[in-house]
Structure 1
């Protein structure tokens, strides 16, 4: 379903685990699980001072981000223990360069991605008050 939407240029939004499943694989308790493979990378247990990561954090919004337009300095609500700590994809051929947003919670991890019609957040915009409403509105305005 996701492949069909993306090929047709239709927008897709993943939230929390919805971001995590888009990656190639996940590692949980030494068990490797295949993801949907839409994005390169591995979801793994975060090396952070306290897990699960529950609460409000700022993000380092990607330059030119459409999702974070007007809310670059806001805080968003997170609930997770796993994340993507490494990002290596820049651009492939005519592929649209991804916009990667980071959060630092004792370790840096990907907190949002924008890759053409595919967007995803590790945090919960639906639980992030006015900033979350603005982010979802920004996403709706991208298509």
Structure 2
């Protein structure tokens, strides 16, 4: 699967890229700002994206998420505060809370791939992945 990483912490992005490539995925780009992310989305047309909420240009990950959603590209937020996401998760499949484990991220990617192929149901989600709509008590972002 071709994956875009939208993360402003360079070491986290590199670690994630390395881990994803070690299990057979191709990282088609990394972006640290919302502008850079939109450019890479249009140029690379990834199959999937990991998106941090807080980027170098502020709390713009939600905008990136909506941009991905409008183009039919599934994504997962990776954030330190899931409760700050809007109830609709800005169109995300779900979210992974920082700090995370590489195993948790890999499980989330495998689940999303299977979900896209229609091989699993939402209730089959791994514990590392919080699906949109699971926690109605979240604060609006």
Q: TM-score range by the shorter chain?
A: under 0.3
Q: Which has the higher helix share?
A: 2
Which structure is larger by alpha-carbon Rg, 1 or 2? 1
Q: Which has the higher strand share?
A: 1
Q: Please, what TM-score do these two structures have when normalized by structure 2? A: 0.28
Q: Please, what TM-score do these two structures have when normalized by structure 1? A: 0.28
Higher RCO by CA contacts (8 Å cutoff, separation 6 or greater): 1
